[in-house]
Amino acid sequence: MYEQIASNKRRTFVVLFFFVVLIGLAGTAFNFVLGFGPQGVVVAVLIAISMSFFSYFYSDKVAIAASKAVPADEVQYKRFHNLVEGLCIASGLPKPRLYVVHDSAPNAFATGRNPDNAAIAVTTGLLEIMNRVELEGVIAHELSHIKNYDILVSTVAVTAVGAVTLLSDIGIRTAFWTGGGRSRNNNDSSGLGGLLAIVGIAFLVLAPFAAMLMNFAISRNREYLADVTGVSLTRYPPGLISALEKLEADKSIVRSSTKATASMWIEQPLPGKEGGGHEKWLDKKFNTHPPLQDRIKRLKEM
């Protein structure tokens, strides 16, 4: 178990390193294609810093609002509050803010920048179909995301994807409307300058897809880690296993989910959740979560 945790953490740091490299390459391509010089680099850096600042401090509020979650009343959702409080005592975590999403699809997510500024949201569908030990397993999984600082890693990943996408979008649109940026000012546009400009534009087109794939890789690794850590909190693997089996059997989707927030949920909340063994290779690469069958299998082998 501990080797699996260590392996997941190492892979996450590797992917984050490549995020930094990708942002640097995207900035370089952006500047070369448009020919802005040093001023272009400064503007790109300022935009990335602004996005990072906003994402770090307000990502939880944005996620809660985007999911249409409302505060969980302590009387109406007493079981939810009691389970969270008990697991927080066992794990040494402060109690996060609790929310409910009025949706019949069973799902849950955690968000925030650290354990002191975290929140957990569950759908009404999850509360309805899960018994006490299953709900405890799901909550332990979400608390594990908080305990392992997955919520911060996810914020960094989403910010990196946003920065790369923004640079690519601005670069491509500007190059299109101005006729090619740097290559426009090159007397030999058919020579090396024109070739490099084409390569730069091609990179800006492909960079957002590479960033999304790395974000999904982080999400998938972190789900395995949260499953293992969650079971160590409850000391009862059958609870989470049974919960994941119910989620696998349910094919409904969360109506308020978006592509930006999909990686936060305990299972993929969007259409095309899982296609079993016949799922296309490309679809698997763009899934935000590992197959539930794999997660269940790993827990049963513990």
142 is catalytic: yes
CA angle 283, 284, 288 (to 5 degrees): 100
CA atoms within 13 A on the CB side of 292: 21
Cα separation, 84 vs 169, in Å, equals 42
Q: What string of DSSP letters covers 257-288?
A: --TTTGGGBSS--SSS---GGG--HHHHHT-S
Q: Which SS3 state, helix, strand or coil, does residue 189 take? A: coil
Contact residues for 114 (Cβ-Cβ < 8 A; gap 6+): 149, 151, 152
Tokens of 166: 């923004």
Catalytic residue among 142, 248, 274, 279: 142
| Residues known to be catalytic | 142
